[in-house]
Chain A
Amino acid sequence: MDKRWLSFELHKRKILTLILSLAFIMSLFSVEWNSELIHSKGLETAKQIATAFFTPDLSGDILILAMESSWTTLSYAAAGMSLAIIIAFFYGILASGIVVSEGNIKRYIRPFFRGQLGFMRAIHELVWAWLFVASIGLSPYAAIFALAIPYGGILGRIFADMLEDISPEPIKALEAAGASKLQALWYGYLPLVRANITSYAMYRFECAVRSSAIMSFVGIGGLGYQIQLSLDDLHYDEVWTFVYFLIALVIVIDLWSNQLRKRLVQ
């Protein structure tokens, strides 16, 4: 047989796949497959929740409450995203290093700002929420800052990556035409990434709505808070009403985002 066929380099991925599959199969043996796996009343509760799925509570009071809390959740998300976009815009540009010329300054500026973006997004929004609730109390600001910081970190990093990855020809052409770094930013980089970053920010806005709902489990009002209260009272039909409102919010944002993308791409 050809010796090259037996080289490790050629097969390392297949070997890794094999090892990981074996690890998964072995892990199945350590599960205890008896009645202890799900607690005895669990199945019954699951049935109740499933029934409630088809019979959500549509009484006037609950609908008004759901609308109010949807509005709260949405406004936290919108305020948090607005701040996140501002953070991402400035940090993203600095972290991509496109406004400074090659050399020593760039070698330090990029890691410096990329590091800060990493710090912002390394901490989950829920953890930020705890920190802010502990320091400034149960106020809307706690939720907004808790959303803005990690989302700014994520958005800023993607923005920086997009700016670094665009095709270099139009930028070179602008510089050859006498454009400075900042002029090239406005006439080249920003228009080139506009469609992509907008659609990514819209997707993140969707995530922010979900997060903002979760955020209310910490005690800051909104859909999540109502879901928690209804769950505590075992009112699964109410839970589903609130969940449907959350789904509706996400779908509406998705539709909006599609419209926006279509307009930007054409």
Chain B
Amino acid sequence: MQEAISLKQISKIYERKIALSSLSFTVNKGELVALIGPSGAGKTTLLNLLAAILPPSQGEILIDGHPLSELMDHKKRAKKIGIIRQQYDLVGELPVIHNVLAGRLSEWGLIKSLLSMLIPQDKEYASQALRRVGLTDKLYEKTSSLSGGEQQRVALARLLVQSPEIVLADEPVASLDPARAEDVLDLLVKIALEEKQTLIASLHSVEYARKYFDRLIALKDGEIFFDLPASSVTDDQIKSLYRLKEIS
């Protein structure tokens, strides 16, 4: 199988705190990976490194065999890597259609993107994406008037329009109730499978991670605690992953 992402001895150090120490693993094309672990374990930092939002302090990240640091043109990078986070990623004041079409900004020049504010361009991309996430009738509604679950579907629709090869999801369902959360996760995984995307998602819920993903990478204190197929993770391992440090 082809490698999509490969991390080599990645470390990230904030002023005094070590967020990630010397991580190495590879993710194959089309794999569905869940990052789990207690708060502060370094899940978000890892995703930000993969999205090139933060530079690593040490080590190298390879995307399709090429160093991520060489993928500096962020328009090209957007075709490779897409990221979805909690629902604060959308511009609430804009109608849904513009938030979805923002996924086309890497393709558009400035003139076309300004024109699109008046007359939406490539509209069929937006309506098709919204149909796939089940929000066909919300095309012209103000984004902030949608519910949390619907907003997260809009973010998914944007990602569909952007259509990157690798999707990074940082706590994509953290602010949703269980029913909405499953709904959004279901959609996220379904789209990744249909589009043959590689998906890496950080999750609070081990239950969802086991249910929807093939492989679990557990982080604790900036290190890999375990890296196993979802089916072979035992309850004891989960328990010790989340156990608080004994106060000595």
The residue of chain B having its C-beta at the shortest distance from the C-beta of A187 within the complex is: B102
What is the size, in residues, of chain A's interface with B at 8 Å between Cβ atoms?
Answer: 22
Question: Given A170-B90, A192-B91, do A175 and B74 touch, yes or no (CB 8 Å)?
Answer: yes
With A and B bound together, what is the CA distance between A192 and B110 in angstroms? Answer: 19
Say yes or no: B162 contacts A183, CB within 8 Å.
no
Residues of chain B lying within 8 A (CB to CB) of residue A183: 105, 108, 110, 113
Say yes or no: A188 contacts B53, CB within 8 Å.
no
Pick from A169, A172, A191: contact of B93, CB under 8 Å? A191
With A and B bound together, what is the CA distance between A182 and B113 in angstroms? Answer: 10
Residues of chain B lying within 8 A (CB to CB) of residue A266: 142
Residues of chain B lying within 8 A (CB to CB) of residue A134: none
Residues of chain A lying within 8 A (CB to CB) of residue B117: 186
- Is B220 interfacial (CB-CB < 8 Å)? no
Question: Given A178-B74, A192-B93, do A187 and B98 touch, yes or no (CB 8 Å)?
Answer: yes
The residue of chain B having its C-beta at the shortest distance from the C-beta of A195 within the complex is: B93
> Which of B97-113 touch A at CB < 8 Å?
98, 102-103, 105-108, 110, 113
- Is B36 interfacial (CB-CB < 8 Å)? no
- Is B190 interfacial (CB-CB < 8 Å)? no
Say yes or no: B83 contacts A176, CB within 8 Å.
yes
Say yes or no: A167 contacts B102, CB within 8 Å.
no
Residues 44-84 of chain B, each 1 if its beta carbon lies under 8 Å from chain A, else 0: 00000001010000000000000000000011011101110
Residues of chain B lying within 8 A (CB to CB) of residue A180: 75, 105, 110
- Is B146 interfacial (CB-CB < 8 Å)? no
Residues of chain A lying within 8 A (CB to CB) of residue B108: 183
With A and B bound together, what is the CA distance between A195 and B53 in angstroms? Answer: 29
Question: Given A186-B114, A191-B93, A192-B93, do A173 and B79 touch, yes or no (CB 8 Å)?
Answer: no
Question: Can you name 24 A-B residue pairings with CB atoms under 8 Å?
Answer: A169-B89, A170-B91, A173-B83, A173-B90, A174-B91, A174-B105, A175-B74, A177-B82, A177-B103, A177-B105, A177-B106, A178-B74, A178-B79, A178-B106, A179-B105, A180-B75, A180-B110, A182-B110, A183-B113, A186-B113, A187-B98, A191-B91, A191-B94, A194-B93
Hey, which bits of chain B sit against chain A, CB under 8 A? 51, 53, 74-75, 77-79, 81-83, 85-86, 88-91, 93-94, 98, 102-103, 105-108, 110, 113-114, 117, 142, 155, 158, 162
Known interface pairs A173-B155, A187-B91; 5 further A-B residue pairs with C-beta atoms within 8 A, sorted by A's residue number = A169-B85, A169-B86, A176-B74, A177-B106, A266-B142
Hey, which bits of chain A sit against chain B, CB under 8 A? 167, 169-170, 172-180, 182-183, 186-188, 191-192, 194-195, 266
